[in-house]
Amino acid sequence: MSQEHELKFALEDETDYERLSASLGAPHERLEQRNFYLDSPGGRLRGARVMLRVRVTQTSSVLALKRQLARPEDGYFRMYEEEVELHHPWRGDLEVLAQIPLVTQLAHDLGIECLVVVGEMQNLRLCYPRESFLLELDRTLFPDGSVDFEIEAETDEPAVVADEIAMLCASAGARFRPQTLSKFQRFLQRLKG
């Protein structure tokens, strides 16, 4: 497992998202992501504070396991992460996942007999390479129809990157604030209604 360190900032609304996007210019990459969240029927992964997800894009399907290391501070998230590239486009076949060592070990450790898809959300990610980090601008559609707008950047230098993001947002006239919950946590909140 590796560690992931990521800054996340919520944009206040779609206007702020559009302002920042226009200010940044054409994205280097545009990814349409479908995120499928998995758990046991009894919610054992959530109970263990583990997120298991399959992310499907135009070019890949990736299984990811994440465990939060500490509470986020000023939008800075620290997680353990393990990813497995799936060799074929994933079409919801849970039997394929059951054969992956990451899943079999997790099932053994937590006493899980089977997995179910808890739900799905869609994300449009616009990628903008900066000098010292990759800025990702997300538009996320949740199952309840609500939409969040967010900036993400993987970094080990949160203060430096946060300052650059603040300058970019100020220049664009985009309002933002540190994110306090991951996409998965917000997804779960919206499932509960």
Instruction: State the Cα–Cα distance between residues 88 and 2, nearest whole angstrom.
Output: 24
Domains of the chain: 2-192 (2.40.320.10)
Structure tokens at 112: 């899980």
Instruction: State the Cα–Cα distance between residues 78 and 12, nearest whole angstrom.
Output: 23
Provide the residue-wise pLDDT of the chain in tens; the chain has 193 residues: 689 999 999 999 999 999 999 999 999 999 999 999 999 999 999 999 999 999 999 999 999 999 988 888 999 999 999 999 998 889 888 999 999 999 999 999 999 999 999 999 999 999 999 999 999 999 999 999 999 999 999 999 999 999 999 999 999 999 999 999 999 999 999 987 6
Query: pTM for the complete prediction?
Result: 0.92
For residue 20, the SS3 value is: helix
Structure tokens at 25: 């210019």
Instruction: State the Cα–Cα distance between residues 99 and 174, nearest whole angstrom.
Output: 45
Instruction: State the Cα–Cα distance between residues 166 and 177, nearest whole angstrom.
Output: 9
Phi-psi region of 68 (alpha: psi -120 to 50; beta: other; left: phi over 0): beta
